[in-house]
Structure 1
Amino acid sequence: MATSATPPSSVLIIGAGPGGLCLALSLSLLPQHIPCTVYDLHPSTPSIGGAVALTPSSLRILDRLGVYERIKHRGFQYRALRFATSKGGTIGDCIFGTEQYPALRISRTILLQALHDVAAEQGIHVQWGKKALSLQETEEHATVTFEDGTSATGDMVVGFDGVHSRVRAHVVRSALSAKSTSNPDAYAAQFAGLAGVQFLTPLPLIRFPPPPGHAEGTPPPLPMLILAQEGSFLLFPSDPEGQEVACFSVWNTEVDLGREGWERWGREEAVRWVRELHKGWPEPVKSALESLDPSQVHVWPAYSVPPLPAWHSPRVIIAGDAAHAFSPKGGQGAGQALEDAALLSRSLFLVSPQYPLAQALRVWEARRRERVKFVLDWASRADRGRREGKSGWVQQKIKEYVLWAVFALKGEGATRALIGYDTELVDLGA
């Protein structure tokens, strides 16, 4: 039986997404194996649409788990994101990849399947159709009760159950138990005031003007973020050859339409809206919109989690989007979940009489809060020019000049701390 002075002997993981599976694999590969079981509300491995962008800080983790070799040639590899003006000018390149680990945009389904395959090979068991309903904990154990009436008990419970987490409510209530005036409902997920609109189009249907000094037919520098007074337009491949391009725009709105409302808006209004917003934009946006297939339009409303009083109680932890949800425009959600998991496995392994569980969890949370704050601040700065409403001509030129100055003066240093983070080098004080 585990105590507060020894690593846990059993861990229950709620959520079989990238973060939950990364934690399970990390625990299974420790020198002192920590058994775990993964529970997920879906009936089987989900086929989830969309793609994720992974930088070296995430790919390094997947490499250590034996996953990277399986996926690195199944997505679109790139070194930089090109920032451009709507008139065809280049602002600069934001570096997101290295020679060892080029950044990778890959289908979420492909990533999940690779993680599930490696987990199965390690003997990690996923129980499907298990939606967490409530939790209870003692000094030594935590118990999860599921909606189907069953329950499970382990030394620890870790919730990687997403932005609408059920595990979060337990952790928040535990943290607020001595504050009778606080309302746990205030820490539920909140609509972030925006929705991402995406459509897919074949690369040959998009006309890219050749860069100055280059011949017609020069391959376009993708991915590319085009900035204009009216907003932004992102072109981002996710297939290995870069022949299928996802085009993104963002609708800023204070109204959460709800699940059915968003589905209806996506069917009936999204195409008209995106065409109207970018009406009159030159190439490559013009031809991308001309090739828009309404059946390929998808809408993702964004939800955020307010700053929480705690990410853990004595035997229950939340991580990933359950603890800190990122705007989809920041593109850091999956990566931060992987980092949470990798550092948590290190923390649990180090538990000893000299480094008890309470201290290990406290240090883990502190280190991850520091990192998440840095990434959130970085993403907010990078995002500011896209989130704001229509700019005046002078405002737009100032934005473009500031970005140009950052890229020109800092170069790779602009993202070094973002992509160079290594969970194995984080000082846990043990």
Structure 2
Amino acid sequence: MTQRAAAIVGGGIGGLAAAVALHRRGWRVEVLERAREFTEIGAGISLWPNALRALDALGLAGAVRALGTVEATGGVRDRRGRWLSRTDNAELARRFGHPLVVLHRADLLRVLTDALPAESLRSGSEVVTVRGDGHRSVVVHREGETRPDLVVGADGLRSAVRRALWPAAAGPRYAGYTAWRTVTEPLAEPPREGAATWGRGARFGYTALPGGRMYCFATASLPAGAASGTSEHAELLGRFGSWPDPIPALLAAVPATAVLRHDLYDLPPLPSFVRGRVALVGDAAHAMTPNLGQGACQALEDAVTLAHCLDATPDVAAALRSYDGLRRPRTQAIARRSARLGAVGQLSWPPAVLLRDTAARLTPTRATLRAMTPVLGWTVPGDPVTR
């Protein structure tokens, strides 16, 4: 039997996970990444139980957990630092089979790349376009053309694959707020609990990474493309330096060149994630705001589900239609939920902020966990990948 070939456009989390899933099911995979290296810099990532379940299916959950940190508790605070809600990670693991694990994005990418043959990874290969050609698609990149059995568009928010094959689809839309992300230097006494602090039109969160470092993230409601006139580090200090402890101490431990600032966007719903023998995964299909911490988690789910559907039938087009039916309703619902949570978190009118904080304080923890079941309770289609 002829080995089937897949071209993965984009070497981020979703693309690499799709490549691992297909490789372990016997496909010949080629990951085409525009950057010169397969890496990510500067920020942490939260992997919820559903993501760890997907990594279990890839045989990688143990390696990822070994590189991450599991905090005992986390929660939400108000602008004065008072707790509004708390979540016990042990209870999360009891309900959903895995805890919340936090690690550096670069570490997760390293685990994924290490699971692939070196010849599958083609950095510095920018894809120009993708076009249909009978029963196969043609991927045009700087070094020439590739004609695989399957094309996976995993090239992010501003996907070239999506632009080529979904030309009428609406482009990314600004969420209304900007985000800062950074990682501190190692701290002698890092906070024992992670937290997201809600202010008026602004939020600041932090969670532990291995080695005494902390991953910090912040948002503020600003016009798209707004320039501060100062460095990202100075802007972050100016906006959040007087927030409640331990935020000032965390910011004091942030290197001046280690702050990333990005306007946040999501993607209007697509009518389909597939075109013939081309499938979109991750942000290329359903870019969402980070309020639920589900962007990478959903990309991992995509990868495992895509491989399962392709394993179920030799008809690639039929498999992709099945993938679309499984993934599009779920991911678009989660994207809408994340957008709603972001709108609540960014409230700035004082009466609305008071109402929001009061509602959070009065909501029982068990109700919060129960509300997260549709997201965190996802199960892997079929059996885990064991080949």
The TM-score with structure 1 as length reference comes to: 0.79
Is it true that 1:412 corresponds to 2:369 in the alignment?
Answer: yes
Choose from 259, 271, 275 the match for 1:313. Answer: 275
- Cα deviation for residue 130 of structure 1 reads 0.9
SS in 2 for 1:268: coil
Letter in 2 for 1:277: R
Amino acid at match of 2:358: Y
Q: Give 2:134's aligned amino acid.
A: E
SS at match of 1:136: strand
The 2-side partners of 1:138 and 1:202 are apart by 51
- Matched with 1:60 is 53
Could you say if the C-alpha distance between residues 138 and 55 of structure 1 is closer, same or farther in structure 2, counting changes exceeding 3 Å?
same
Q: 1:162 aligns with which of 141, 156, 163?
A: 156
Aligned-partner SS, 1:422? coil
> 1:148-204 CA distances to partner (integer Å, 9 max, x unpaired)?
4x111111111111112111122214xxxxxxxxxx3x5333443322123444575
The residue number in structure 1 matching 2:195 is: 224
Deviations 1:67-108 (A, max 9, x none): 222221212213653112233322112467415422111111
Identity of aligned residues (%): 23
SS of equivalent residue, structure 1 residue 76: coil
Cα distance between partner residues in 2 of 1:70 and 1:289: 30
Q: What is the Cα deviation at residue 322 of structure 1?
A: 0.7
Code of the aligned partner of 1:341: A
Residue 178 of structure 1 corresponds to which residue in structure 2? none
C-alpha contact (below 8 Å) 1:56/1:102 kept by paired residues: yes
Question: For residue 324 of structure 2, what is the aligned residue in structure 1?
Answer: 365
Q: Do residues 78 (structure 1) and 40 (structure 2) align?
A: no
CA drift of 1:59 comes to 0.9
Give 1:7-406 correspondences, 5 Å limit.
9-30=4-25, 33-78=26-71, 80-94=73-87, 97-99=92-94, 100-120=97-117, 125-148=120-143, 150-173=144-167, 184=168, 187-202=170-185, 204=187, 220-229=191-200, 231-239=202-210, 241=211, 243-256=212-225, 265=228, 268-278=230-240, 280-289=242-251, 293-351=255-313, 356-388=315-347, 390-392=348-350, 394-406=351-363
Q: Alpha carbons of 1:12 and 1:281: their partners in 2 closer, same or farther (altered >3 Å)? A: closer
Following TM superposition, by how much is the alpha carbon of 1:335 offset from its aligned partner in structure 2, in angstroms? 0.9
Q: Give the whole-Å Cα distance in 1 for the aligned partners of 2:27 and 2:244.
A: 56
CA–CA distance in 1 between the matches of 2:4 and 2:252?
A: 58
The answer (yes or no) to whether the contact 1:91–1:403 under 8 Å persists in 2 is yes
Look up the SS of the partner of 1:58 in the other structure.
helix
Q: RMSD of aligned C-alpha atoms?
A: 2.8
- Once the 2 structures are TM-superposed, how far is the Cα of residue 317 of structure 1 from its aligned partner? 1.5
Q: Which region of structure 1 is more displaced relative to structure 2, 343-352 or 227-236?
A: 227-236
- Alignment check: 8 A CA contact 1:224 1:235 kept: yes
Task: Write the letter of the residue equivalent to 1:188.
Answer: G
- 1: CA distance, partners of 2:224 / 2:43: 23
Sort the Cα spacing of 1:325 and 1:37 in 2 relative to 1 into closer, same or farther, 3 A: same
Change (3 A) 1:287 1:42: closer
Give, in whole Å, the separation in 1 of the partners of 2:239 and 2:75.
22
Q: Which amino acid aligns with 1:46?
A: T
SS of structure 1 residue aligned to 2:76: strand
Answer with 1 or 2: which has the greater Rg: 1
Query: Which secondary structure state, in structure 2, belongs to the residue aligned with residue 192 of structure 1?
Result: strand
- Contact 1:172 1:309 (C-alpha < 8 Å) held by counterparts: no
CA deviation vs aligned residue, 1:35-77 (integer Å, no higher than 9, x gap) = 2222111223234321211111111121232222222121221
Check whether the contact 1:407–1:414 (CA below 8 A) recurs between aligned residues: no
* Per-residue deviation, 1:139: 3.2
Q: What is the CA–CA distance in structure 2 between the aligned matches of 1:270 and 1:154, rounded to whole Å?
A: 42
Describe the SS at the equivalent of 1:295. Answer: coil
- Inter-partner Cα distance in structure 1 for 2:267 and 2:81: 37
CA drift of 1:118 comes to 1.4
Q: Whole-Å Cα distance in 2 between the matches of residues 66 and 290 of structure 1?
A: 39
- Inter-partner Cα distance in structure 2 for 1:291 and 1:124: 40
Kindly state the Cα deviation for residue 109 of structure 1 after the two structures are TM-superposed.
Answer: 0.8
Query: CA 1:229–1:203 in 2, change beyond 3 Å: closer, same or farther?
Result: farther
> Would you say the 8 A contact 1:93–1:407 is kept in 2?
no
